Amino acid sequence: MGRQRSLDQAVGLALLGLALGVQADTGIPVYELGTVSVTASSFETEELGELGDDQVASVVTLEEMERYNRNDVGDALDLLSGVTLSNNSRNEKMVYVRGFDVRQVPLFIDGIPVYVPYDGYIDFNRFTTADLSAIQVAKGFSSVAYGTNALGGAINLITRKPQEALEGDVTLGYADGNERSAKINVGSNQGAWYVQAGASWLDSDYFRLSSDFDATATEHGGERDNSYRSDEKVSLKVGLTPNATDEYALSYYRQRGEKGQPPSTDPDSARYWQWPYWDSESLYFISRTALGDKEAIKLRLYQAEYDNEVRSYTDDTYSTLKTSGRGSVGSAGRSIYDDRIRGGSIELESRRFDRHNLRLMAQLKQDEHEADDTIQTTERFEDTLITWSAEDNIRLAKGLTLSLGVAYSELEADKVYKASDAVPKPDDQSATNGQIGLFWDVEDVGRLYATVAGKTRFPTLKDRYSLRLGNAIPNPDLEAEQSINYELGYKGEPWPGARAEAAVFLSDVTDLIQQVDDVEDDKYQMQNVGEVRITGLELGLAAPVGRHWELGGNLTLLDRENRSDPDTRLTGVPERKLNAHALYRPTDRWEAVLYLEYEDERWASQTEKLDSFVTADFKLAYEAVSNLVIEAGLTNLADADYELADGFPSPGRMWFVNTRYSF
């Protein structure tokens, strides 16, 4: 009965006039070299720099990130259907896409993989939206250009590219929790070359809990304990465009982060951890060169470094390092990771054959992980992943396209070293995947599509080798997870000004890596024992109402069935989610935004279920003079007390003010 009432509430919001909606199609220029699409763009100049309407992937635009005050990538992605947020045991922001986590739906920047090589995770709190032009999210069916590990799709952050001789923006902000922020982007396009630079800074002392929060022994309420954070980011891109078809760009990114980890509100699970640094630095090169009017070559080369340290303390004074026992991260109470990714890809695109757009791709990626506890190097692992793939888009008739893709991958363990509990070097692994999609563009209706995609995720270094703080037995022979993703969908403009999408999908996942308890001496082991079926429905509609209003939102219904072990619950993701928004523009200078989100109950563990919740955000923006916008707002307007993970309450009502100037 409770679940049915939750669904009734969700549908009721839609029926009150907050129509189900989708993100706006982006007509703004984006960094075309950074996009990854199944249907390749034309060689014609007028399409360069545009994110085409022909893509099925969901998109969050720069305009939407600014309108809804989404300052980090996780919050920006939460605008989309099929996407939900959670926290892990380290209180890092996690993103799920149709029930798949970030290891199975990996993160990319301009098509370059971004993740911590050891465990495949990434903290979405660390990635700001300051220098982005758009975010692509492919669900289920995704280009083979993303390579292996896109088991349930892929997330691609597209950076900015200047269009004018001089352009940019500056934003200053202040918010509850003594949060100070600043960001600047400056670019110049001189025709034959361009340069884009950006910098952002955010520093916060704490976030505030709901007034309805009940104090515990490890959290008294009010200002959330140990919830400080500081993030800095700089980016620089230099590009050459010697003619209408060729482009060469070199990009550099550096992030510096520091954060506290709030302890669990459950005293039995509380960890007193702090991260004195969470840093990354990357350099990559992307180019596109036309070989006559029929072929083009696209090249990606990259190197990225991920360095972080976590310190574990005995109590909430954070003064004495914990050097033994549960929750200690190393023999000295400190754990330091130095991880590296190096790789590249080459892609040949050909339109030589009539009605065919053929792409051939080769990729090589090397992962390196090194850890120490400040006394000795405790482990060092290295992997090499090679992928060969091909994609062909065949125009069967006007408006009807058949997309075919195939990929073969090999994973080789180059180095396996552990100072204690030595692990044998595993055999090489390989996987072959195929996919097919049929896309039908109907005039004045939109795009109808049907897709089937076979995908693979190889196990991470942590999956295979970690002792899990002494509680687990390594399993170097872990094999890859497999999925077959089916989808029927629609995306289009059902009437002038309206934007709609609908999708029904099913994913069969086999060889899922899951924890098996009591394998030896009360220790568990990660094994390929899981079989899961995921089914769902996504609906969306957004449209103007009269001259001054826009109403919209989206609905996600999701069901995950543990077919290998029906008695074991699948955790972390709600079965129902509804977003709804109302925009009111009484004049050209004023805009008011109300944003509502409902999420159903979710299981946090085998015994603990988290309550459903509704949050509301409100913002008022005023353009004081041309291109100068002053805005203020409240998040979690009703001060709801809710959790995305057990023991980690979310912020209560918080206020913010921003000033943004564009030129």
Q: What is the pLDDT of residues 38-87, one digit of tens each?
A: 664 444 333 333 444 445 678 999 999 999 999 999 999 999 999 999 98
Lowest model confidence (mean pLDDT) among 196-210, 509-523, 641-655: 509-523
Residue type, 122: I
pLDDT for residue 39: 60
Q: What is the largest distance, in Å, between two alpha-carbon atoms of the chain?
A: 71
pLDDT for residue 8: 43
The structure tokens listed for 401 are 């396209």
Q: What is the pLDDT of residues 578-631, one digit of tens each?
A: 999 999 999 999 999 999 999 999 999 999 999 999 999 999 999 999 999 999
Asked if 37 and 143 touch (Cβ cutoff 8 Å), the reply is yes
Nearest of 540, 556, 553 to residue 580 by alpha carbon: 553
Three-state SS at 5: helix
Q: Which residue has the tokens 């969306």?
A: 540
The structure tokens listed for 560 are 């995950």
The per-residue DSSP string of 161-202 comes to: ---SSSEEEEEEEEETTTEEEEEEEEEEE-SSEEEEEEEEEE
The structure tokens listed for 660 are 């943004």
Domain assignment of residue 106, given as a range: 2-662
CATH of the domain at 35: 2.40.170.20
Asked if 156 and 133 touch (Cβ cutoff 8 Å), the reply is no
CB atoms within 10 A of CB 606: 9
Q: What is the pLDDT of residues 449-477, one digit of tens each?
A: 999 999 999 999 999 999 887 788 999 99
Three-state SS at 549: strand
**Strands 472-473 vs 523-545: parallel, antiparallel or unpaired:** parallel
Q: How many independent structural domains does the chain possess?
A: 1
pLDDT for residue 26: 41
Q: Phi and psi (nearest 5°) for 653?
A: -65, 130
The gap from C-alpha 77 to its chain's centroid, in whole angstroms, comes to 7
Q: Which residue has the tokens 């990854």?
A: 36
By residue count, the chain amounts to 663
CB atoms within 10 A of CB 158: 27
pLDDT for residue 89: 76
The yes-or-no verdict on residue 311 having pLDDT over 80 is yes
Asked if 648 and 91 touch (Cβ cutoff 8 Å), the reply is yes
pTM score of the predicted model: 0.92
Residue 200 exposure: Cα atoms within 13 Å on the Cβ side: 22
pLDDT for residue 55: 54
Compute the distance between CA of residue 121 and CA of residue 39 in angstroms, rounded to an integer.
29
Three-state SS at 335: strand
Sign of CA dihedral 505, 15, 74, 652: negative
CA distances from 217 to 210, 262, 267, 627 (A): 17, 13, 6, 49
Q: What is the pLDDT of residues 223-274, one digit of tens each?
A: 999 999 999 999 999 999 999 999 999 999 999 999 999 999 999 999 999 9
Q: What is the pLDDT of residues 92-121, one digit of tens each?
A: 899 999 999 999 999 999 999 999 999 999
DSSP state of 72: B
With a CB cutoff of 8 Å and minimum separation 6, the contacts of 485 are 140, 141, 152, 451, 452, 453, 454, 455, 505, 506, 507
The structure tokens listed for 236 are 């620089």
